[in-house]
Structure 1
Amino acid sequence: MQDIFLNTVQDFNEYQGMETLHPLVSVVHVENTEHIKECVMHYGVYAIYLKENKGCRLSYGRTPYDFDEMTVTSFAPGQVVKVEPNPDVPFAKFTALAFHPDLLNRTALGRNISRYEFFSYTSTEALHLSAQEVEVFRGVLALIEQELHRAIDKHTRELIVSNVELLLNYCLRFYDRQFITREEINHSVVKQFLHLLDEYLDTQAEQDGLPTVAYFADKCCLSTGYFGTLVKTETGRTAKDLINDRILSKSKELLQSEMLSVTQVSSLLGFEYPQHFIRFFKSLTGKTPAQWRVA
């Protein structure tokens, strides 16, 4: 299996067979006539693809991307993505934006790039666009592309970065819409999360330690970022808050048994040290476990 290293925009363009108009950013339109080959792509640039057919299967980590026609997938530097041919649609068709992290140096977007968590979404998390959203997406890419075909001047970088930021902000809006329109799916994920959480506290916490958001995201086959946003959208509260609520509820249940000491309750819940449990309990109730017990 071939390894493809996309460390620069030049690398990205050469792989797609496109001319490089700017060393730090590129917009490409690809409609391959050659069959897609299995490979592993190592990203050193940011890349956002508007997939226009089911030309290949993508996987990041151990689970596949969920995408169809007119969906957006996003990758960030450091990510490794496996590409496999789709026998039913052997040719890829997509539009893509690629930009190097250096493009964002000393810009507000560079300082705030972490807010675009969809770059870390890993599985079953592609952005599915409506026809109107596709037009918006293409329209912003067209603005970037226009700048790339102009002679570079003192305004070029500022205008390109502004439009990249505009595109990312639209992606945030479209993801918010997707979280809302997938209400039934989201509800089932939250239901599964809470069931797994209760099960964990009952059977695993003492051995494996305190439950984490990352653990349940993985169990639901979602990245931590996507899972956290989904839970917050569906419940109005963070996944961490819900975990803490369940730990507190379970601790009160255990403390009602006079057979268990505070130290034993702490251990059953997965706390490494009893003082950590006491601090946690007091921060949420205003009382220590011992004080709550006699209240």
Structure 2
Amino acid sequence: MDSIINFSSISDYNSFNNNETLHPLVSIVDLSKAAPRKDYKMNFGIYCVILKDTKCGDIKYGNNYYDYQEGTLVFFAPGQVVEVNNNGEYYQPYGKALIFHPDLLHGTTLGKHMEEYNFFSYNTNEALHLSEKERKIILDCFSKIEYELEQSIDKHSKTLITSNIELFLNYCNRFYDRQFITRDTVHKGVLDKFENLINTYINSEKPRNEGLPSVGWCAEQLNLSANYFGDLIKKDTGFTAQEFIQSKVIDLAKEKIFDVNKSISEIAYELGFKYPQHFTRLFKQKVGMSPLDYRNLN
């Protein structure tokens, strides 16, 4: 594996793929113009979304490979290091890529809520798989952005370009919602596994010793990124993963509260709360009364 290739600017990525730089902060890249390549690593300082048109190397992020097939989209954010592996053989990449620098977003509507597009931090086996109809919509979005890049830059350019990027990202949100439903075989059992994981954890000694389970920890146990996992649980249940964990903890708390040999503080510590007042606050928020009032109902 060669040394890491740093993509700090739009021109860096364009040069690597033999594309002309029409705008210093954004580009639609035709990957078929790139020279044949083999295994390499990329360090992104820009946002990059790749639409794959054919088999062109396996993309690895962290310790695992993307579920990355023909007709899929993958998303990379600044700060990510990604490896492409083709077993040392040269291959010709095909497809399109949208790249844009974080500086493009300053002062724009998109810049104010860019962090809401969680799929930029999805990890392994979490690529967006497109239907042919969806692929055409994505290419149409790319085409609109490319059209603007081919025009002379004027006072409208930035607004039109970022608005079309936002439209593209909103379509990706819609298509991911569809994927959470249609890829049931891949996601089958995640909620059941999550529920079993929480039940096993909170009924052990771990809460007292290690505290409450975090969403990140649960996602890691299920081999999913925290954001992908959180979005999947929200789509399945209507609740955030954190709310789901809290509901399980409160259900167990309701049982424990009727053990009059234990104080409310002792129960709080057993459940993983560092401070009893935090337990009392959450209990009252979820149940509508304090733990002590709930105990006195018996």
- TM-score tier (shorter): over 0.9
Aligned equivalent of 1:138:
139
Equivalent positions of 1:1-295 (< 5 A) are 1-31=2-32, 32-39=34-41, 41-85=42-86, 90-203=91-204, 204-295=206-297
Structure 1 stretches of 4+ moved >4 Å? 86-89
Determine if contact 1:122/1:222 at 8 Å carries over to the other structure. Answer: yes
Aligned-partner residue type, residue 267 of structure 1: Y
Greater displacement, 255-264 / 231-240: 255-264
Q: What is the CA deviation profile of residues 135-192 of structure 1, one whole-angstrom value per residue up to 9, with x for unaligned ones?
A: 1111111111122222222322222112111111111111111112123443411111
- Is the Cα–Cα contact under 8 Å of residues 38 and 85 in structure 1 kept in the other structure? no
Q: 1:87 to 1:94 in 2, by over 3 A?
A: farther
C-alpha RMSD over aligned residues: 1.8
* Alignment: residue pair count: 294
Q: Note if contact 2:17-2:35 (Cα within 8 Å) is conserved in structure 1.
A: no
Structure 2: tracts of 5 or more residues without a match? none
Q: Distance in 2 between matches of 1:181 and 1:288?
A: 42
Q: Aligned AA for 1:193?
A: F
Q: Which amino acid aligns with 1:145?
A: E
Question: How far off is 1:23 after superposition?
Answer: 0.6
For residue 224 of structure 1, report the CA deviation from its aligned partner: 1.5
Give the Cα–Cα distance (whole angstroms) in 1 for the partners of residues 35 and 47 of structure 2.
25
What secondary structure is seen at the aligned counterpart in 1 of 2:189? helix
3-12 vs 280-289, greater mean Cα deviation:
280-289
* In structure 1, C-alpha distance between the alignment counterparts of 2:201 and 2:54, rounded to whole Å: 41
Question: Percent same amino acid at aligned positions?
Answer: 41
Q: Could you state the TM-score of these two structures normalised by the residue count of structure 1?
A: 0.94
Instruction: Report the TM-score, using the length of structure 2 for normalisation.
Output: 0.93
* Structure 1 residues not aligned, in runs of 5+: none
Label 1:196 to 1:88 Cα distance change in 2 as closer, same or farther (>3 A).
Answer: farther
2: CA distance, partners of 1:266 / 1:29 = 57
